[in-house]
Amino acid sequence: MFEIGIDLVDLETLNQKRTEVLINRLLSDEEKIIYNDITDKTRQLTFLGGRFSAKEALFKAFKQGDKTANYRDFTVLNDEVGAPYFVDNHFLSGYTIKLSITHTKHYASAVVLLIKNK
């Protein structure tokens, strides 16, 4: 069994709402370290938008879920070739997750394929 989730984020709208409170709400501790190390403000915004979009796509793939998770419970990192992936945690055990993130000057988008392990 599998589910698909997709999300699109308007980066200008996100930028207008970008505050420390929002960043702390959306990013895990590990992601915040990476975010804070990015010196280019445009790259920071696409990083934030991509992570937000990825987590929204994941929530959509889960449909209802257990309603106890929040954005900070999930971490998206990049592997050695730059491909994004969700760090495994107790919410994700029992699933294989495929993730793709893309962004342009104006938008960030993510697609999640959530596969239930047998």
pLDDT more than 90, % of the chain: 87
Contact 48, 36 (CB under 8 A): no
pTM over 0.75: yes
- Residue 8's nearest CA partner among 104, 115, 74 is 104
pLDDT of residue 26: 97
The domain spans of the chain are: 2-116
- Residue 6's nearest CA partner among 106, 96, 98, 117 is 98
pLDDT of residue 69: 85
49 vs 52: CA distance, rounded Å: 5
pLDDT of residue 96: 95
pLDDT of residue 54: 98
Give the contacts of 74 (CB within 8 A, at least 6 positions apart). 28, 55, 58, 86, 87, 89, 91, 92
Which residues have a catalytic role annotated? 60, 103
Measure Cα distances from 60 to 48, 91, 111 in Å. Answer: 18, 14, 10
Question: What CATH fold (topology level) applies to the domain 2-116?
Answer: Ribosomal Protein L22; Chain A (3.90.470)
pLDDT of residue 18 exceeding 90, the answer is yes
52 vs 18: CA distance, rounded Å: 12
Average of per-residue pLDDT across 8-36: 97
Average of per-residue pLDDT across 78-95: 94
Residue 65: pLDDT band with limits 50, 70, 90: low
Residue 66: pLDDT band with limits 50, 70, 90: low
